[in-house]
Amino acid sequence: MNTFIENQNWRYATKKFDATRKISNSDLEILKDAIRLSTSSYGLQPYQVFIIENPELRTKLQPASWGQTQIVDASHLFVFANIVNVNESQIDDYITNMAQTRGLNTESLKPYSDFMKSKIITLPSDSKSVWASKQTYLALGNLLNVAAELKIDVTPMEGFEPEKYNEILGLNALGLNASLVAAIGYRHEEDATQHYTKVRKPNEELFITL
Taking each helix axis from N to C terminus, what angle separates 125-149 and 2-10, rounded to the nearest 10 degrees?
A: 110
Can you tell me the mean pLDDT for 102-110? 97
The string of pLDDT tens digits covering residues 149-194 is 999 999 999 999 999 999 999 999 999 999 999 999 999 999 999 9
Max Cα distance, the chain (Å): 59
Give the number of C-alpha atoms closer than 13 A to the C-alpha of residue 177, restricted to the C-beta side: 19
The string of pLDDT tens digits covering residues 25-60 is 999 999 999 999 999 999 999 999 999 999 999 999
Annotated domain spans of the chain? 2-85+125-187, 87-120
**pLDDT value at position 204?**
97
Q: Assess contact for 17 and 183: CB atoms under 8 A.
A: yes
Per-residue b or e along 145-158, where b marks 16 or more CB atoms closer than 10 Å to that residue's CB: bbbbeeebbbbbbe
Overall fold of domain 2-85+125-187: NADH Oxidase (3.40.109)
Q: Assess contact for 181 and 68: CB atoms under 8 A.
A: no
**pLDDT value at position 2?**
80
**pLDDT value at position 203?**
97
**pLDDT value at position 101?**
97
The string of pLDDT tens digits covering residues 131-148 is 999 999 999 999 999 999
pLDDT level of residue 1 (50, 70, 90 thresholds)? low
Q: Is pLDDT of 122 > 70?
A: yes
